[in-house]
Amino acid sequence: MALAGTRQALEASDGSFPVYTNRKVINNDPTMAELADSGLINVNNNWRKVPDGSVVIFSAHGVPPSFHEIAEQRHLLTVDLTCQLVTRVHHIAIEAEREGKYIIYAGVSGHPETVGVMGEIKPENITLVETLDDAKRVIIPEGRVAMLLSQTTLSTAELLEIFDFFSKNERVEIPNRWDICPTTDLNQKAVDELIKSYGIDFLLVQGSPDSHNTEQLRRMAEKSGIPSAKIDTTDDMQRVWFTSGIRRVGFTSGASVEDKLSEPVFEWFRREGIEPIDLMEGEKREKQFKLPEQDLQKLRERAKVTI
């Protein structure tokens, strides 16, 4: 959804005016480079680089309320491409605080998704937990009920530990719906299957350095004592990884990696005389997210006026 929305925004502007994004729309460097070639300008949350009245895309990770305030003050036309799973967490957190509840948020400090959600809540009403040890140190204010929410790209196994811990506390509410991104969850299940059922000797994960869900996949192999590596493109591949002791290599990718970026990896193996075998079909990604058509229509109308 975020990529489709960004490409539609760039197509609508057709170079008649610049299109900015507050940060990487998704955490994938090759795709962001492609979008930059098409005219997208990433300001890395430096609003001084954005002229008043400009078009700005909000990334899939979501943004804090202060960004919407800046947009209003600067008369920016925004295209909000926040993942709807993330938006859901924002809404639940806001409603919980309104009801007087304390928020426990499982996430990664400094991650844009975490920054966005925590920015919705007064600091005295929310605590960030990154590990089970953090969870054990949480002190819920006397006389209040807490609600547990999470970042959508965490490790399912690690999050379950935190959920299990708080599920024993009668003062902590856990929403019925699972906060983990379905694609992230499916990828983690697939890697678990590769490790346990197919007996891989090495795990190769494709994704950019700052992709949290990609790193979580690599860590799954690490925790099982299996050698692993993370690549962005085939430029990062090293033949030395696949020595004579490596019989079976598992390959997966992060949620932000388009299928077209993975085909060169298979071609690399073929050139090395290693024929890839598709052992797993996996579950289909059937969840579809709606584009912010109202935002995109405003942009198209601006383009007509500019032209």
Per residue in 160-179, pLDDT (tens digit) is 899 999 999 999 999 866 66
Tokens of 221: 């192999």
Report CA dihedral (63, 64, 66, 72) to the nearest 10 degrees.
40
Angle, to 10 degrees, between the axis of helix 293-306 and the axis of helix 2-13?
10
**Where are the domain boundaries for CATH 3.40.1010.20 in the chain?**
85-173, 182-271
Pick 2-82+289-306's CATH classification: 3.40.50.1220, 3.30.420.40, 3.20.20.220, 3.40.50.11270: 3.40.50.11270
Name the strands in the sheet holding 77-80, side by side, starting at the edge strand that comes first in the sequence: 40-42, 19-21, 55-58, 77-80
164: how many CB neighbours lie within 10 A of its CB?
11
**Where are the domain boundaries for CATH 3.40.50.11270 in the chain?**
2-82+289-306
Element (H, E) at 19: strand 19-21
pLDDT at 282 over 90: no
pLDDT at 307 over 50: no
Tell me the average pLDDT across 124-132: 97
Looking only at the bridges linking them, the beta strands covering 40-42 and 77-80 are unpaired
| Class of domain 85-173 (CATH, top level) | alpha beta
Nearest to 211 by CA among 190, 181, 241: 181
Element (H, E) at 275: none
- What is the spatial distance between Cα 248 and Cα 275, in angstroms, rounded to a whole number? 11
pLDDT at 296 over 90: no
Is there a catalytic annotation at residue 113? yes
Q: pTM of the prediction?
A: 0.87
In degrees and rounded to multiples of 5, residue 203 shows phi and psi of -120, 125
- What is the spatial distance between Cα 215 and Cα 182, in angstroms, rounded to a whole number? 17
In this structure, are residues 39 and 13 in contact, taking their beta carbons and an 8 Å threshold? yes
Tell me the average pLDDT across 61-68: 97
- What is the spatial distance between Cα 220 and Cα 128, in angstroms, rounded to a whole number? 23
Residue appearing with tokens 């935002």: 295
Element (H, E) at 191: helix 182-196
In order of 184, 185, 190, 198, the CA distances from 283 in angstroms are 12, 11, 9, 17
Q: Which of 17-26, 94-103, 284-293 has the lowest mean pLDDT?
A: 284-293
**pLDDT the model gives residue 268:** 94
pLDDT at 280 over 90: no
Nearest to 290 by CA among 8, 117, 19, 83: 83
Instruction: Return the SS3 of 172.
Output: strand
**pLDDT the model gives residue 158:** 79
Residue appearing with tokens 């990609």: 214
β-bridge partners, 251: 204
- What is the spatial distance between Cα 43 and Cα 70, in angstroms, rounded to a whole number? 14
- Catalytic residue selected from 11, 97, 113, 281: 113
182-271 fold: Cobalt-precorrin-4 Transmethylase; domain 1 (3.40.1010)
Of 60 and 307, which is predicted with more confidence?
60
> Long-range CB contacts (< 8 A, 24+ apart) of 295-298?
295/77, 295/78, 295/79, 295/80, 296/5, 296/8, 296/9, 296/12, 296/79, 298/77
Tell me the average pLDDT across 250-257: 92
- What is the spatial distance between Cα 20 and Cα 51, in angstroms, rounded to a whole number? 10
Q: What percent of the chain has pLDDT over 90?
A: 73
**pLDDT the model gives residue 155:** 82
Tell me the average pLDDT across 266-273: 90
Tell me the average pLDDT across 262-284: 77
